[in-house]
Amino acid sequence: MGINQFIIGLVHEADWDKEALSEIERQYDLLLDFYLWAKDKNLPLRMTMFEKSLDEVKRERKHVWGCGAGSGRIAVTGEGKIYPCSRFAGSNDDRYVIGHIEEGFYKSKLPEALKASAWARPKCVKCPLSDICSGGCPAVNLEATGSLYEPPKAYCAEVRAWAKAMSKLPETALPKTEEQEKPCPVEG
């Protein structure tokens, strides 16, 4: 099929029961096995979630909360309303409008709220995974739990499953930076 790169994302805000939540860890183990099998065969397979060491992730995410919505990126609707991201724009909820294309940005506390620290996130502040996690997508959090700062269970279960899988990943399976910059062998 010519597909060799996978970015896997769960629908965290869906209704996950206990059984489905516990399946996430098993699926991550299967994904890791498949990734290591492909590496062993020298296949040009990429799975972005396994391409950085936990130490690298820790260095990058230290003190980074939220996702840059409203500060690093915005979304503009056909009517010209500015939202922090496309997900908020999709809500079509005027409470999350932070400006208008013809009027500029409004005074809004929302962009600041979106990047608030771990202290704003009661669950995260004591979580052992907080140094590799940024607290979940605020828009998904809002939809799933009614709070920008409270992640749905499936999100935390995925972070835990991914971290566990990563701790089993041998250093040798991490791609070297120069290798990542080479053109895709399939595209040539």
Applying CB under 6 A, which part among 22-30, 59-67, 73-81, 116-124 lies near ligand SF4?
116-124
The answer to whether 110 contacts ligand SF4 (rule: CB under 6 A) is: no
Token pair, residue 5, equals: 């790169």
**126 C-beta neighbours (distance < 10 Å), count:** 9
- Tell me which of 101, 129, 184, 186 binds ligand SF4, using CB under 6 A: 129
The DSSP result for 85-145, as a single string, is: SHHHHHHT-GGG--EETTTEE---SHHHHHT--GGG-HHHHT-TTGGG-----HHHHHHHH
Note whether 159 binds ligand SF4 by CB under 6 A: yes
CA distance 97 to 85: 10
**At its nearest, how many Å lie between ligand SF4 and the CB of residue 168?**
18
Q: Whole-number minimum distance, CB 4 to ligand SF4, in Å?
A: 29
**Apex CA 108: angle with CA 107 and CA 111, to 5°?**
130
Residue choice 32, 142, 144, 156 for contact with ligand SF4 (CB under 6 A): 156
Smallest distance from the beta carbon of 60 to ligand SF4, in angstroms? 15
Determine the interface stretch with ligand SF4 among 21-29, 46-54, 103-111, 129-137 (rule: CB under 6 A): 129-137
First to last CA, the chain: 15
70 binds ligand SF4 (CB under 6 A): no
Residues in touch with ligand SF4 (CB under 6 A): 121, 123-124, 127, 129-130, 133, 135-136, 151, 155-156, 159
